Structure 1
Amino acid sequence: MSAFIYGLGTGFSLILAIGAQNAFVLKQGLKKQHVFWVCLICALSDSILIGLGVTGFSKIIQQYPLIVDVAKYFGASFLFFYGLKNLYAAFKQTAVLNPSNIEPESLFKIIGLCLAFTWLNPHVYLDTVILVGSISVQFAQDYIQFAVGAMLASWIFFFGLGYAARFLLPLFQKAISWKILDFIIAILMWGIAVSLVI
């Protein structure tokens, strides 16, 4: 059980930092658009990567750092343009925005964005594959329990974030709140993009 608890704690400690993926989940939760699928993709992707990490895939990534480098530059480009999109939205929006009157986006578009936020983020590989994989070595006999704990942290966090976001909706009955959120997300995306390439 200690390996499971340690894995759960490790998973939460790595995922709680506000990153591009978390900001995207939060915004979809506020908009009440495809929340289940966004949470499912994020949690499932984390589980796959954690599984790869504890089964030794981290050694392959360490031997072939090109994998992380490719994700780094593609990820930085993606975050830069997504940041521009949010900045444009921050200055364009003038009406009061409620989730019910926000223009719906297609499920395929949201799935594509969600996959990009996850798989083009080199920090995902460093955190879930290399770091979690390295820590799991301490639990040679119980690495499965450790992995399950780390995976469960992702499922709890993403579904909690996606569905708890609606409790913030009263704050977002004003257009200025959406403008501020979009502006903060734009700055966050650009900050992460810059950190990836310097």
Structure 2
Amino acid sequence: MMSAVAAGPAVTGLATGFSLILAIGAQNAFVLRQGLLRSHVFSLCLFCALSDALLIAGGVAGFGLIAKRLTWFPTVMSLAGAAFLLVYGAMKLREAWRGDYAMVLAGVSPTLWKTIAIAAAFTWLNPHVYLDTLGLIGAISTRYADTADKLRFGAGAVTASFVFFFSLGYASRFLAPIMQSAQAWRVLDLLIAVVMWSLAVALIGGL
């Protein structure tokens, strides 16, 4: 059994991971939507969690210090991320405007590879994910001089990502009973469009 001392870094990593990932964002909204469709949920949650794991590992390994030296990196990622969010938000707004949800209500969703491609864009074109994982988590991990403690901290943060994404993806199906009408899906897509555009404006405004 892990001692209280050894559990410290792991618990800190778990709490840090949850605190960073709980905010409603583009990636979370997409996972929620796919969860409601019950389509490619496992693959999508696994991809998002593994992506976080790679970034967290990079932050704990000290790559955050390298990222800070690339002064052009935040600007490029912000512009690319904002462009994608604006386009995706416009797509959701168009779907809400058209109101044609026959395929959605029938359970039809994008193919697995298209789903993963969209998730990849939400993940890797989001500059905040780099600030959170490579920057913040990397910075917090520096308080642990011992390599074993660093690994425990990183493992805790990675665990938070896995628990969150799989919980979001699979728990969202409990909302399915209230998503049996085109009107409900229209409201959801409108909310997603607002989230996407708000995030895009925030990214551009931060330049």
TM over 0.5: yes
Q: Which residue of 2 aligns with 1:70?
A: 76
- Provide the C-alpha distance between the structure 1 equivalents of 2:37 and 2:196, rounded to a whole number of angstroms: 19
SS of the residue corresponding to residue 139 of structure 1 reads: coil
2:178 equivalent to 1:171: yes
How many Å apart are 1:102 and its aligned residue? 3.5
Match of 1:84 among 80, 90, 110: 90
- Provide the C-alpha distance between the structure 1 equivalents of 2:101 and 2:48, rounded to a whole number of angstroms: 31
Q: Which residue identity lines up with residue 190 of structure 2 in the other structure?
A: F
User: Residue deviations 1:100-159, cap 9 Å, x none?
Assistant: x14331111111101000000000000011000000111221111000000000000000
SS of the residue corresponding to residue 201 of structure 2 reads: helix
2:117 equivalent to 1:115: no
How many Å apart are 1:176 and its aligned residue? 1.1
Match of 2:43 among 33, 37, 44: 37
Contact 1:77 1:193 in 2 (8 A): yes
TM-score scaled to structure 1, two decimals?
A: 0.96
- Report which stretch shifted further, 66-75 or 116-125: 66-75
Contact 2:37 2:108 in 1 (8 A): no
Q: Which residue of 2 aligns with 1:196?
A: 203
Q: Which residue of 2 aligns with 1:28?
A: 34
User: Residue deviations 1:59-107, cap 9 Å, x none?
Assistant: 11100032222111110000000000000111212556765x1433111
What's the % identity of the aligned pairs? 50
Q: Which residue of 2 aligns with 1:146?
A: 153
Contact 2:101 2:185 in 1 (8 A): no
Q: Which residue identity lines up with residue 58 of structure 1 in the other structure?
A: G
Contact 1:80 1:193 in 2 (8 A): yes
Q: Extract unaligned runs of 5+ from structure 1.
A: none
Match of 1:183 among 187, 190, 198: 190
TM-score scaled to structure 2, two decimals?
A: 0.92
- Provide the C-alpha distance between the structure 2 equivalents of 1:71 and 1:33, rounded to a whole number of angstroms: 29
Q: Which runs of 4+ in 1 moved over 6 A?
A: none
Over aligned residue pairs, what C-alpha RMSD do you find?
1.3
Q: How many residues align?
A: 197
